[in-house]
Amino acid sequence: MSALSLCPIEFRYGSDEMRKIFKRENILARMIEVEVTLVKSLEECGLIPRGYSVSLESCVHSIKLEEVDSYEKSLGHDVMALVIAIADACGESARFVHYGATSNDIIDTAWALLIRDALRVVESKLIELINLLTKLSEEYSDTLMVGRTHAQHALPITLGFKFANYLYEFTRSLERLMSVESRIVRGKMAGAVGTMAGWGDKGFCVESSFMRELNLGSHVITTQVSPRDGVAELVNALAILASQAERLGIEVRELMRPEIMELAEGVEGRVGSSTMPHKENPVLSEKLAGLARLMRSLTITALEDIPLWHERDLSNSSAERFLIPHSFLVIDEVLNTLIKILENLRIYPERMMNNLKLSRGTNMSEALVLRLTDKGMLRHEAYKLVRELVSKAINENKDFLTVVSEDPRILKYLTKEEINEALNYRKYLGMHKALIERTIKYANEVLKQHSLLSQK
Amino acid sequence: MSALSLCPIEFRYGSDEMRKIFKRENILARMIEVEVTLVKSLEECGLIPRGYSVSLESCVHSIKLEEVDSYEKSLGHDVMALVIAIADACGESARFVHYGATSNDIIDTAWALLIRDALRVVESKLIELINLLTKLSEEYSDTLMVGRTHAQHALPITLGFKFANYLYEFTRSLERLMSVESRIVRGKMAGAVGTMAGWGDKGFCVESSFMRELNLGSHVITTQVSPRDGVAELVNALAILASQAERLGIEVRELMRPEIMELAEGVEGRVGSSTMPHKENPVLSEKLAGLARLMRSLTITALEDIPLWHERDLSNSSAERFLIPHSFLVIDEVLNTLIKILENLRIYPERMMNNLKLSRGTNMSEALVLRLTDKGMLRHEAYKLVRELVSKAINENKDFLTVVSEDPRILKYLTKEEINEALNYRKYLGMHKALIERTIKYANEVLKQHSLLSQK
Amino acid sequence: MSALSLCPIEFRYGSDEMRKIFKRENILARMIEVEVTLVKSLEECGLIPRGYSVSLESCVHSIKLEEVDSYEKSLGHDVMALVIAIADACGESARFVHYGATSNDIIDTAWALLIRDALRVVESKLIELINLLTKLSEEYSDTLMVGRTHAQHALPITLGFKFANYLYEFTRSLERLMSVESRIVRGKMAGAVGTMAGWGDKGFCVESSFMRELNLGSHVITTQVSPRDGVAELVNALAILASQAERLGIEVRELMRPEIMELAEGVEGRVGSSTMPHKENPVLSEKLAGLARLMRSLTITALEDIPLWHERDLSNSSAERFLIPHSFLVIDEVLNTLIKILENLRIYPERMMNNLKLSRGTNMSEALVLRLTDKGMLRHEAYKLVRELVSKAINENKDFLTVVSEDPRILKYLTKEEINEALNYRKYLGMHKALIERTIKYANEVLKQHSLLSQK
Amino acid sequence: MSALSLCPIEFRYGSDEMRKIFKRENILARMIEVEVTLVKSLEECGLIPRGYSVSLESCVHSIKLEEVDSYEKSLGHDVMALVIAIADACGESARFVHYGATSNDIIDTAWALLIRDALRVVESKLIELINLLTKLSEEYSDTLMVGRTHAQHALPITLGFKFANYLYEFTRSLERLMSVESRIVRGKMAGAVGTMAGWGDKGFCVESSFMRELNLGSHVITTQVSPRDGVAELVNALAILASQAERLGIEVRELMRPEIMELAEGVEGRVGSSTMPHKENPVLSEKLAGLARLMRSLTITALEDIPLWHERDLSNSSAERFLIPHSFLVIDEVLNTLIKILENLRIYPERMMNNLKLSRGTNMSEALVLRLTDKGMLRHEAYKLVRELVSKAINENKDFLTVVSEDPRILKYLTKEEINEALNYRKYLGMHKALIERTIKYANEVLKQHSLLSQK
């Protein structure tokens, strides 16, 4: 089959677990489930006689996607095609199928169910990632390395501190997804223009019975369709997540440069290049960047779907057929890839230490400025003096410690011991450990909230 | 001045209230406030002697933006320029200014304060909009009009019901902004790589004193900068809001067509065309569409800013200099415009009724299908029969009621009275009133939450 | 198969003709063709003995995509997998396969060939569209209707004139695609970093033989890959085309409103709504809007692919696996749909005339202003006077002609005959016919250029 | 003034040369020029008496932007405001101002003139950039360095070869801009719906006289406005250019890392960090990335402007007020910055050589594979063997040359001399010099075309 495919989500990207959710046969199954649930609710509210839903349940399983497709071909309408296919399969039992409903009662509710399933997968992988980063933050909490800003050497940090920042960012994403879920995973059962006209004064009864059965919250009011701001918010949240993953991927790609080589993707038997046998390439991390670009783009499609005309126009439909499955399969691949990268990450603490020392102490200049300020210099004059000494150390190719210790202007304020102390990497890590702990605690709280929410 | 301007947010779009927040002099003032607050915190934590912050407060007011600009020109660094300008103005009092801080401690915290101010403006206008829509939903809760899907006539609704859907959508936006605010309005005071190294073991003390003073929450951990997912989430939330506004603008533009003319922008003395004296154009509503396009685009810039390298690179800086002020000025113009449109909206209930009758009853076909189903027909066969009668009515140019009432197949199931009842517009509005009420109640709850949150 | 698919380009959107181009088996076939062509060129330049390419050609056909996939699974490298599969299938004949080449010599050249094929399909459909619009412009060159600006009635135009504007816009797209093609359809055969190092001083010989064989132009210089600006320009050109199609789709959707009903999609047996039997919806035209949104988004992905690191990084790869097939299948669906819409378009000239008269002549106000100016009034005072009379006509619900003919201020300047003449719709169409002709002529010239270019 | 500004294009980004073009007073001046030119054309075609345009020219200079603004405030229409301001200033001379024209005849033609001016500036800077890169390509044509793919070491290249690739890419941008210009720099003078109705049968005369006077090509046909595909194509071309600049910026940022340090931004007296005196940061190159993000985003706004309703709606107007000036000021800043970077670039050939040797010869593995294949091994078996030796060299920490020269399997095929030759960096640069020359030749041809075109 794959030989005839075109789209990478069919065969290349995303897990089977996620693929199963958005396969056409599953989408159909969800739509049928929604139709049957409606009939149940009609019975419960006394709008139709009891018994129809039970007999429906036993006959709908025989419906084939091909039949529905073939009806759609002639009718040009997918839900109408389904309704007729149900009628074919179930005869008199189908009498009240779709009673009072409009197509998007079925479609939007099916999307809500599918998105809920898909979010479960995304969230469980995100939690796995959060747990991995928690472990890495703890394990490497004291592994010294240089912090880099503008890709230049700044102050020392630790690898665990670096990981903790990613831990924080991904935890924010989990929090955000929980907030988004409350606005997007909502059913819609309100008829052709949202007034529930088909069920007379039983509209609220039908709706609440229907939502209870599917364990869904309901929109407060709708037109023919659910408001599309929810999709836009969802896709954007996934694009943020993908961009955060890209950021971690860039970290790996950069730190795996042969000149740096502090981190590296585990490559196992992977071939680096078809022509250069020596190559080992961070291809998983690079993939994250490409997929993040796609995710970012899709936010535009989703935003443009919001201004539907009047009680709705159809323009969101073709767009969402791409938007929803692609977003989830792509984010799924992103998360799987990132987990794989972290699980196989090669870490070189010695290289980190070597690189940290590359600037021969000049990157500790801030510490010196502060100590001088403590002892009475104006901060910005201390800054100027230290800057001069940094230049000297570089130009004369000497250790910063040596240059500083020989400068009489410095020695007026600081003893050699104090200078030694000021330029000690390990003594200039600030609150790194407490910050890591605070981040892990925050992550744990969010995980707990998530777990509470999921039990509902 | 305006004659020399280029950008519409300088002179054309947005209110002075919002403009004031993002004027360069105010940004500078906020940055100075942050620097002074840091000195206060240093004193409070015993890192420096008491007294500096008080004397600082009295001298910083003399700093001119021009001086800072001139230092920046030679130094190529904006915050460093500010620090030196403070030193110039305050001499010895400036000794501990910027002690242990990095530029983005100042910049990101200033952004947080500015964004908080700007969100207050946005939210207060959004609340005004919500209140307007609440009033309109109630006032026109029974004003019959046709619901339109695919720009075709669907079932009847009421104008109040239409407004209530917008009310729901904008209320969701308010809810979303409240959620976003919790992740974006956070201060950052943690030094060059986020470890708080400059303050030894007093980092948490400095941070908490600083945040308390500014009444800000703090990020849990940071690199040199706050994580950029917050900006992306914010800009997207504003883009969603702009897209919802565009949707309401399209409603007005469409319903103001001369062939429809159910709603119209109040135009006062406005000229429609420079060459066609008869023109009245919905130019305010059209403006919403153009501005929404800009807002949507900006989400991409914001998303691309997330994957900064290592402990940060500078690429977000130039982008955000546009992103943040433009987003807020544009959304401000959007909200002001929408409020103006609604306050001056001309409403033509008679035209609504005329248009509703345009289809001579055929748009009540669903109601007939349901009644036939109730009386024993299979739903999809009823659908087929009714469809035939619709065609007949159209082809023979007759009222649908007439055609239906004469059809023996219908009369087998329904009396003429029942037919009359089924085709009565007013009897087919479902739960419209209860839905409007439910929406207003939901809006009120969100407003209450907002009010509680704002008091914090 | 379709039951297991997820992506709409697999089964729903795009023609089989286009699908065939981007099916995995065809992509593989193109890559094999490129590999074999390289061996031919190596022979021709005397780098390897003659005979290998001939024997290769006979054995490569047995290669199955599954084998390549299975190698890729273990190697993590798609082109390397192909090279080994060729070795498996061809043994000693494969000895020089991939000699001196890098993966992207194969991939980028295969993309160039596939894109050329796909552009042929796009262009041929675009030409069909241009021909259809030419016919419609001519056929309806005198069919009066109102021109609409701001969705309000402006001056009269003709339907043919309207069509001619679309004709112009689509012809610009064809011109643009021809320009883009010259930058994107270029082969790349230059080795791992673009220096052609593997072939010593025979690099240009290999390249030119290779390109001649494939009838491709070559890039002037490359890194490991072709520059990615070409893809960005291509996707943007297709997004422009899709947006133009959306514009025509909006035209149909709006003019098909029951209150207007000047144009309508031919619906054949199509069902409009699953619950409202009376509905006829412009679903094809609506689909264009959704697909245009997707196309617009993809320009962002393509632009972000440009800044590859150094001699390349891999981030474009995953993105382009989506970008290229999706762009072409989506634009294919857009063009097919638009052609179908135009071929089945229902046109109601009577309704056009009725709607034109809706404003009872007030929309001829410009003509009156000009005639008054001719006769000596200042243009803007004429404008003011006419505006007053327009208001009068509307407020007193009279024909504009009546109001104008009775106004003494007008009669000072114009006779009743002149007024009659000025307010005659047919007399105020300007150069509409000559403009239509000029547009058709321009289209024909572009078609001729295209035909010349295609013969190369 | 700057203290009250909000938008960085007012005071921070872009040159005064470009700023001058889009200042409001200049836009107004262009609009007045267009209005006067129309009057000239009306005279020339005998539609109005001679003399008006000459007297107009002498009075329009007194018009103040403030007056126009104040009219716009009361009228809500910018061009109408201008027309009245002209009437105020010129009295009877203004009698035929705007005769037969619509606002967008003025606006779109003014945009065309402004865009032409702005493109001149962009192109002249792009040419400066091309000349700089030509010089650098030549000067460093033999400066050895490692080529990097996936940020890993690939084969050797030269710095001149690297520059030549950028030269190629920017030359493609110049070519693209020339193509875009032919579609966007076109005047529009065709009245309210594009039919030229106001000028009877003199429409083509007015148009051609008008265009000749302004030295502009004309659109073939229009609605009320020029088609918006031109703006979208323009903005995209500028976004491509910005993305190419970002790519060169990334090159500098990466090669300036202290671990690599092959290239560096000249920093002069610039301060790197407000707290770390040792920092030298590639802030100019980083700025390119941020600005490129903004440019990419704007393509979406421009694309969304294409599907205007019917003969036009106003939604493009507010969007373009941002789009056009911002695009040009931002690209201007991008080009200025890039030129500055290249002019001050610090280049460290020794570091290049050191880094090239970092892999101790293993990055020459491809050369060895090819020589083995030449001598009779199957290419992919040679690949496997060489890969094994690469691993051995790395694991045993030996020079690749040593490991290879000792391997009996290699020595069966190659003498030590042949091995030495194969692993010599300088001998494996392929056609690098000829490719550089070919690129320069291509650039020169495009420059020549550009110069011919500009003379028109």
pLDDT at B279: 73
What is the C-alpha separation between B270 and B258, in angstroms, rounded? Answer: 18
Q: How far apart are the first and last CA of chain A?
A: 40
pLDDT at D269: 62
Any residues with CB less than 8 A from the CB of D317 and at least 6 apart, and which?
B286, B287, B290
Which whole number is the average pLDDT over D219-227? 98
Contact A277 D355 (CB under 8 A): no
Phi, psi (rounded to 5 degrees) for C156: -70, 145
Burial C319-336 (b: 16+ CB within 10 A, else e): bbbbbbbbbbbbbbbbbb
**Within 10 Å of residue C92's Cβ, how many Cβ atoms?**
9
Annotation: CATH topology of B15-94 = Fumarase C; Chain B, domain 1 (1.10.275)
What is the C-alpha separation between B160 and B158, in angstroms, rounded? Answer: 5
Helix/strand/coil (H/E/C) assignment for every residue in A137-201: HHHCCCCEEEEEECCEEEEEEEHHHHHHHHHHHHHHHHHHHHHHHHHHCEECCCCCCCCCHHHHH
Contact C149 B358 (CB under 8 A): no
pLDDT at B271: 67
Res. B456 pLDDT band, cuts 50 70 90? low
Phi, psi (rounded to 5 degrees) for D261: 50, 50
What is the C-alpha separation between C252 and B266, in angstroms, rounded? Answer: 28
- Each residue of D301-345: pLDDT tens digit? 999 999 999 999 999 999 999 999 999 999 999 999 999 999 999
What is the C-alpha separation between B400 and C180, in angstroms, rounded? Answer: 55
Any residues with CB less than 8 A from the CB of B397 and at least 6 apart, and which?
none
Tell whether C238 is within 8 A of chain D (Cβ).
Answer: no
C168 pLDDT more than 70 = yes
Bridge-based pairing of strands B144-149 and A346-347 is unpaired
pLDDT at A423: 94
C208 catalytic residue (yes or no): no
**DSSP, residue by residue, D348-375:** -HHHHHHHHHTTTTGGGHHHHHHHHHHT
The helix-helix angle for B283-304 and B229-255 (nearest 10°) equals: 160
Res. B2 pLDDT band, cuts 50 70 90? confident
Judge whether A355 and C328 are in contact, CB under 8 Å.
no
Tell whether A55 is within 8 A of chain B (Cβ).
Answer: no
Which whole number is the average pLDDT over B137-146? 98
Q: How far is A273 from chain C (nearest CA, A)?
A: 7
With contacts defined as CB-CB under 8 Å, which chain C residues touch B256?
151-152
In a mutational test of the A interface, the residue from B43, B195, B208 whose CB has the highest number of chain A CBs within 10 Å is B195
Helix/strand/coil (H/E/C) assignment for every residue in B375-418: CCCCHHHHHHHHHHHHHHHHHCCCCHHHHHHCCHHHHCCCCHHH
pLDDT at A271: 67
CATH of D103-142+155-355, one of 3.30.1280.10, 1.20.200.10, 3.90.78.10, 3.40.50.10480: 1.20.200.10
Nearest C-alpha in B relative to C366: B276
Range with lowest mean pLDDT among C114-118, C331-335, C447-451, D265-269 = D265-269
What is the C-alpha separation between B310 and A157, in angstroms, rounded? Answer: 11
What is the C-alpha separation between C230 and C214, in angstroms, rounded? Answer: 19
Give the three-class secondary structure for B187: strand
D421 pLDDT more than 70 = yes
What is the C-alpha separation between A7 and A269, in angstroms, rounded? Answer: 27
Give the angle B267-B271-B275 at the CA atoms, nearest 5°. Answer: 145
Q: Is D25 exposed, middle or buried (0-12, 13-18, 19+ CB in 10 A)?
A: middle
Res. B268 pLDDT band, cuts 50 70 90? low
Percentage of chain C surpassing pLDDT 70?
98
Q: How far is C3 from chain D (nearest CA, A)?
A: 34
Q: Mean pLDDT score of chain D, rounded to an integer? A: 95
With contacts defined as CB-CB under 8 Å, which chain C residues touch A314?
281, 283, 286-287, 290
Strand residue runs (E) in A52-162: 144-149, 152-158
- The runs of H, that is alpha helices, within A256-314 are 283-304
Q: Let me know if the fold of C103-125+157-269+276-355+433-455 is the same as that of C362-422.
A: no
Nearest residue to C374 via CA among C429, C422, C408: C422
- Each residue of B35-85: pLDDT tens digit? 999 999 999 999 999 999 999 999 999 999 999 999 998 888 889 999 999
Rg over alpha carbons for chain C, rounded to the nearest Å, is 30
A362-422: CATH number: 1.10.40.30
Q: Which CATH superfamily is B103-145+158-194+213-355 part of?
A: Fumarase/aspartase (Central domain) (1.20.200.10)
Nearest C-alpha in A relative to C81: A274
pLDDT at B378: 84
Contact C286 A317 (CB under 8 A): yes
Which run of H or E residues covers position D164? Answer: helix D159-184
Q: Which two tokens stand for residue D350?
A: 């020794």
The CATH architecture assigned to A7-94 reads Orthogonal Bundle (1.10)
Nearest residue to B373 via CA among A46, A198, A95: A95
Give the three-class secondary structure for C125: helix
Res. C75 pLDDT band, cuts 50 70 90? confident
Q: Mean pLDDT score of chain B, rounded to an integer? A: 95
pLDDT at C186: 98
What is the C-alpha separation between D287 and D294, in angstroms, rounded? Answer: 11
Which whole number is the average pLDDT over C247-254? 98
Tell whether A198 is within 8 A of chain B (Cβ).
Answer: yes
What is the C-alpha separation between D227 and B37, in angstroms, rounded? Answer: 54
pLDDT at C380: 82
- Each residue of A390-425: pLDDT tens digit? 989 988 999 999 999 999 999 999 999 999 999 999
Give me the residues of chain A with pLDDT under 50, please.
1
- Each residue of C210-238: pLDDT tens digit? 999 999 999 999 999 999 999 999 999 99
Annotation: CATH topology of D14-94 = Fumarase C; Chain B, domain 1 (1.10.275)
B277 pLDDT more than 90 = no
Q: How far is A357 from chain D (nearest CA, A)?
A: 11
Percentage of chain C surpassing pLDDT 90?
89
DSSP 8-state assignment for residue B347: E
With respect to CATH, is domain A103-140+157-188+225-355 assigned 1.20.200.10? yes
Which run of H or E residues covers position D148? Answer: strand D144-149
Annotation: CATH topology of C103-125+157-269+276-355+433-455 = Fumarase C; Chain A, domain 2 (1.20.200)
DSSP 8-state assignment for residue C104: H
Tell whether C168 is within 8 A of chain D (Cβ).
Answer: yes
| Domain assignments of chain D as residue spans, ordered by start | 14-94, 103-142+155-355, 362-422
- B185 to B74, B180, B230, B327: CA distances (angstroms): 33, 8, 9, 16
Res. C406 pLDDT band, cuts 50 70 90? very high
- B337 to A412, B168, B345, D74: CA distances (angstroms): 65, 19, 12, 16
What is the C-alpha separation between C123 and C139, in angstroms, rounded? Answer: 24
**Residue type at D428?**
Y
Range with lowest mean pLDDT among A328-332, B389-393, D379-383 = D379-383
Q: Is D351 exposed, middle or buried (0-12, 13-18, 19+ CB in 10 A)?
A: middle
Contact C272 A77 (CB under 8 A): yes
- Each residue of D40-96: pLDDT tens digit? 999 999 999 999 999 999 999 999 999 999 999 888 888 999 999 999 999 999 999
What is the C-alpha separation between C320 and B442, in angstroms, rounded? Answer: 45
Which whole number is the average pLDDT over B292-306? 98
Nearest residue to B454 via CA among B123, B14, B20: B123
Q: Tell me which of D150, D278, D310, D380 is the catalytic residue.
A: D150
- Each residue of C30-42: pLDDT tens digit? 999 999 999 999 9
- The runs of H, that is alpha helices, within C190-311 are 203-214, 229-255, 283-304
ipTM value, please give it. Answer: 0.96
D163 pLDDT more than 80 = yes
Res. C49 pLDDT band, cuts 50 70 90? very high
The helix-helix angle for D78-90 and D65-75 (nearest 10°) equals: 130
Which whole number is the average pLDDT over C289-307? 98
pLDDT at C378: 84
DSSP 8-state assignment for residue D155: E
With contacts defined as CB-CB under 8 Å, which chain D residues touch A257?
151-152, 257, 259-260
Q: Tell me which of B2, B61, B74, B150 is the catalytic residue.
A: B150
Judge whether B407 and B393 are in contact, CB under 8 Å.
no
Nearest residue to C328 via CA among C423, C435, C242: C242
With contacts defined as CB-CB under 8 Å, which chain D residues touch A304?
304
Which run of H or E residues covers position D343? Answer: helix D315-343
Judge whether A123 and D259 are in contact, CB under 8 Å.
no
